[in-house]
């Protein structure tokens, strides 16, 4: 996870992995907190609420932050709000941001707020754990737990053997750093991690979400990427499943390739252009359908039909609305 623009996007694949396996996330990085939470009770993600609280206090950039309501062990409505930040690079005011978000959340909900930070940066000496203000004998601040991915640098074999999905995510992060200047080594590492995804016998949903994290971290040159997809298809053939071959990026690429092939077969330049456009639109529709499903759950048939029949301009308009819409009706209102 290097400090490139793509790696600093707010809505990274980390978000999908965290939402898919939040109890395992806490268990792997913050085991003391995990032992104090009643995981038999529902945990609720509060993304919209978090955005409202911190909208006017944007301080720095990070991979992802989440707000989750959990229940303490012991019975009753012992709610605690868990605020998680995954930070991708060293930042001077990071601890201050944790403090600001923590007290704003407490002020809003009047409930305990536990803040946790996962540090995915490249500086082994950077470990912000507290922020404090003092004046005239008055002292306020915060001390918060941190998990440093670099702390696991000498534990790759143990990470490979660990059934927790975030052991695999951590291994992917470390191997990405180690293979930064060695594409062949990265290819071998990525292939091994992908195979582990299948060997865990996880659900298709979990495999897809974790694959997105691996694929986002471990970028490969085009030739090696093509070779990896061939190997993935072989793995899926061995196990008689079809999982990661349906991820969004592959859908777009294959849609474009299919469109070009169709155009060439027609033997006319116009046919090539139309075929290419059709492939791109199909890929965009696949992405939007997955985004809508993640936000609002399974889609009704009439929505699926509208997505299938839409052109590129309409898909783009709907995709813009997904970010802020509170319901499917808001996404498709007026169309």
Tens of pLDDT, residue by residue over 257-295, are 555 455 555 554 554 445 444 544 455 667 777 777 766
How much is the pTM?
Answer: 0.69
Average pLDDT over residues 129-139: 94
Return phi, psi of residue 239, to 5°. Answer: -95, 0
Q: Has residue 167 got a pLDDT over 80?
A: yes
For position 248, what pLDDT does the model report?
44
Higher pLDDT, 34 or 54: 34
Which pLDDT belongs to residue 148? 96
Q: What integer is the mean pLDDT of 306-334? A: 74
pLDDT at 154 over 60: yes
- The contacts found for 32-39 with CB under 8 angstroms, 24 or more apart, are 32/145, 33/82, 33/114, 33/116, 33/145, 36/72, 36/73, 37/70, 37/71, 37/72, 37/73, 37/80, 38/70, 38/71, 38/72, 38/73, 38/74
Residue 222 has pLDDT above 90, yes or no: no
pLDDT score of 76: 59
Structure confidence at residue 240 as a pLDDT band (50, 70, 90): confident
Highest mean pLDDT pick, 67-76, 170-179, 194-203, 251-260: 170-179
Q: Look at residue 153 and give its three-state secondary structure.
A: coil
More confident residue, 277 or 186: 186
Question: What pLDDT digit, counting tens, does each position of 53-95 carry?
Answer: 666 555 544 446 789 999 988 765 578 999 999 988 888 899 9
Give the per-residue pLDDT at 334: 65
Q: Give the H or E element holding residue 130.
A: strand 130-135
Of the ranges 129-143, 217-231, 318-332, which one carries the lowest mean pLDDT score?
A: 318-332
Q: What is the pLDDT at residue 147?
A: 96
d(CA 313, CA 110): 45
pLDDT at 212 over 60: yes
């Amino acid at each position: 996870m290097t400090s490139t623009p793509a790696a600093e996007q707010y809505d990274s694949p980390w978000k999908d992995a965290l939402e898919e396996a939040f109890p395992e996330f806490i268990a792997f990085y913050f085991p003391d907190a995990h032992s104090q939470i009643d995981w038999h009770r529902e945990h609720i993600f509060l993304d919209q609420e978090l955005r409202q609280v911190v909208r006017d206090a944007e301080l720095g950039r990070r991979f992802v932050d989440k707000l989750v309501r959990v229940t303490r062990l012991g019975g009753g409505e012992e709610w605690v709000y868990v605020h998680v930040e995954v930070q991708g690079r060293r930042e001077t005011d990071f601890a201050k941001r944790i403090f600001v978000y923590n007290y704003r959340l407490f002020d809003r909900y009047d409930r305990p707020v536990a803040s946790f930070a996962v540090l995915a940066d490249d500086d082994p000496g950077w470990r912000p754990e507290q922020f404090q203000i003092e004046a005239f004998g008055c002292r306020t601040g915060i001390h918060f737990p941190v998990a440093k991915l670099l702390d696991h640098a000498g534990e790759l074999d143990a990470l490979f053997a660990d059934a927790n999905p975030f052991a695999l995510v951590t291994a992917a992060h470390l191997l990405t750093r180690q293979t930064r200047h060695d594409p062949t080594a990265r290819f071998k590492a990525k292939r091994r991690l992908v195979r582990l995804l299948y060997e865990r016998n996880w659900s298709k949903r979990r495999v897809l979400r974790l694959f997105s994290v691996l694929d986002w971290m471990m970028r490969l040159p085009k030739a090696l990427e093509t070779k990896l997809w061939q190997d993935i298809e072989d793995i899926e053939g061995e196990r008689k499943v079809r999982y990661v071959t349906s991820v969004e990026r592959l859908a777009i690429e294959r849609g474009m390739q299919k469109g070009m092939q169709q155009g060439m077969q027609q033997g006319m330049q116009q046919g090539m252009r139309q075929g290419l456009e059709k492939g791109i639109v199909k890929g965009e529709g696949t992405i939007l359908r997955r985004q809508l499903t993640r936000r609002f759950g399974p889609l009704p048939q009439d929505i699926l039909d509208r997505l299938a029949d839409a052109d590129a301009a309409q898909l783009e308009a709907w995709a813009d609305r997904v970010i802020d819409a509170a319901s499917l009706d808001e996404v498709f209102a007026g169309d």
